[in-house]
Structure formats: structure tokens, C-alpha cells
Amino acid sequence: MNRTEPLVLGIESSCDETGVGIVRGNTLLANAVSSSMEEHVRFGGVIPEIASRAHLDAFVPTLRQALEEAGVTLDEVDAIAVTSGPGLAGALMVGVCAAKALALATGKPLYAINHLVAHVGVGVLDGGELPENLGALLVSGGHTEILRVRTLTSDVELLGSTIDDAAGEAYDKVARILGLGYPGGPAIDKLAREGNPKAIRFPRGLTQPKYMGSAEVPGPHRYDWSFSGLKTAVARCVEQYEAAGQEPPVADIAASFQEAVVDVITAKAVLACTEHGITNLLLGGGVAANSRLRELTAERCAAAGISLRVPPIRLCTDNGAMVAALGAQVVMAGGEPSGVAFTPDPSQPVTSIHLPAA
């Protein structure tokens, strides 16, 4: 197997995007994505069974599109990488079974890859080698985490995460409360530009300092987030206007909600970076497309002397290119294939970057 500039095919199916990407070393050759989002709109969120069936329908056409876009054949591929977790169990199973079938049919080595670390690994496709002292802020529909990345392929540490809703989930739920439809992120981001972000002071969860006597001490959730209380506060706000026979100021509520989310996300991410000597930060995940999150992250990183790196939006959302990118890094680092005996892990921790052979 070529471990210098391996040609790696990556498969992603952790949620509602069927992604197949192809990279050669650090170079992106193809990134084909088929989304089933439209099939979930009437339900106001992703329905796992519908997502799984959509993956079944989309996989072969998406694979063919990626191979054609890259101008390569399966015979030329050096290795196959697939998301093994975290994600929706049924959706993961479709991608993993497809990858195993391809590996058995072609005789290519198969690597089971961590979805979250792949969001970091995609950075090599836009700017080359990742810097030292690296942290990653991942914000998506299912995940909100701050990671410390000592070595991309072997040493990743979780510093903080949401203890309830992910930021993207909070956007979707608040959009439903405000009658903005699904997905909520783009709708709220657009409407917030017309509102006043200081109109309503919504709560910032888990931000109150802990004291022992008169001395402030780090609490157990110093770098963690909670958005459930914020979602409830928005609902109560709307109810109060309606109870008074008034039309809720939807744009102001959207802007104030968004400011509460991005304020606490960026504040805690920068705090984690400064207290752990992290001087470079990568922002990834689908919510990285949010204009206010990108703006405030850049502003606060600059003030703290932290270099910020944000991949293009098409590489921030779930895709096969990020899986291929991390797979290629594991291959080049001498990592051994996972074989075909592994099972998907919907709760795969970030410390498990790629699964060893069973």
C-alpha cells in the first residue's frame, strides 16, 4: 500500500448526508454529497429511519459521482475509510456495510474513522499540514465540542462538550417555536440580521463562577455548554407576548437567541484555549456556516492572540472528503487497517480516532 501519498476513498453516513470523498495525500480530488434534508423538513428534524433508507438509495450514485469527478477507478484506490461513529446507529450501519462490501470486493484495506476527528482532519485539505498547539471547536446539529489536538492521528482530548442539546439542535427547536421551519440555523441567521441582538437578555448556561469561600474555583463544567435552558427561555418569552395579546418581535428574539448561543460558545472555547496553551483553533461542523459565529470567533481569537482556521463551508458540513482526509493521515502515519469485523459505535469517543482490527 502506498503510504506516501495514498489514494483514499472516504464514506460518510452518520446523519442525513451521504458523502463519498476521494483524496490523494493532502489533495482533494472529489467530494460528492447527497442530502436527505428535504425528506425531514415536514417532521422538523432528522428521522433516523428515513435517513437510513435515503443512504441506501443514494450510496451507489454518490460513489459513482465521486469516482467520475476524481477521474479514478476503484482498482486505483489504496484504501477505504468510513465513519464508524459517533452518529445515528442505523445511518452508520448503512455506510459501514457499504464500505465493508467494497473492501471485500476489491481487496482494499478498510479504516474505521471517527466522525468528529474527521471534522478536524479536513483542515489539511485547505491549508495543508495542521499547526501545533491546535484546538478544534466543532459546532453542528448533533455535536458541540472543544478538542485539544496534540497529534491528529493518535492523541485527541475532549476538553468540553454540551451536556444536553447541541447548538444546531437548539437552533432547530427555537426556529420551530418562532415558526421559521427546518433547518433552523440558516433561517435564524438570516432573520437575526434584521433584529437587535441586545433586545432580550437570554441566559448563558453554565457560565456562573463557582466559589469556595471568597475564592473563585473552576467548576465541573468549566468548558461545557447547556442550551436547554436557553430554548425554554425563548419559549417563555414568546408565550408572554402572546398572553398579552401582542405579536412577538421575532427578528429581535432570533437575534438575541443567536447572540446568546455564539457568546457562550466562543467565550468558553477561547477560555479553554488560553488555559491549555492552545494557540491555533480550527472551527468546524455545519453550524460553522453561521455568520455571527464566524465573526465573533474571529474577533475573540484575535483579541486572545489565537490563530483561527475555518475550512470552506462545503468542507465544514458532513462529507466524505473529511473521512478520506483523516483516513489518508492515518495511512501515512503507519496506522493499521481496521479489518471488517468492527461494528459502528454511535457514541464513539474522540479518543478513539480510528478503530483497531478486532
Report whether the peptide linkage leading into residue 183 is cis, meaning its omega lies within 30 degrees of zero. Answer: yes
d(CA 56, CA 52): 7
Q: Is 345 annotated as a binding residue?
A: no
Q: Is 140 annotated as a binding residue?
A: yes
Please, are residues 161 and 221 in contact by the beta-carbon 8 Å criterion? Answer: no
> Quick one: DSSP state of residue 50?
H
Nearest partner of 323 among 111, 98, 94, 10, judged by Cα: 10
d(CA 126, CA 55): 27
Q: Look at the block and give the residue holding cell 454529497.
A: 33
Q: Is 327 annotated as a binding residue?
A: no
Pairing relationship of beta strands 110-114 and 144-151 according to DSSP bridges: unpaired
Q: Is 139 annotated as a binding residue?
A: yes
Q: Is 141 annotated as a binding residue?
A: yes
Burial readout 121-149 (b: 16 or more C-beta within 10 A, e: otherwise): bbbbbeeeebeebbbbbbbbbbbbbbbbb
Q: Is 164 annotated as a binding residue?
A: no
Helix axes 250-275, 291-304, angle to 10 degrees: 30
Please, are residues 36 and 24 in contact by the beta-carbon 8 Å criterion? Answer: no
Q: Look at the block and give the residue holding cell 496553551.
A: 277
Cα 333 to chain centroid distance, Å, stands at: 24
d(CA 28, CA 300): 31
Q: Is 119 annotated as a binding residue?
A: yes
Q: Which residues are annotated as a binding site for Fe cation?
A: 115, 119, 318
Q: Which residues are annotated as a binding site for substrate?
A: 138-142, 172, 185, 189, 290
Q: Which residues are annotated as a binding site?
A: 115, 119, 138-142, 172, 185, 189, 290, 318
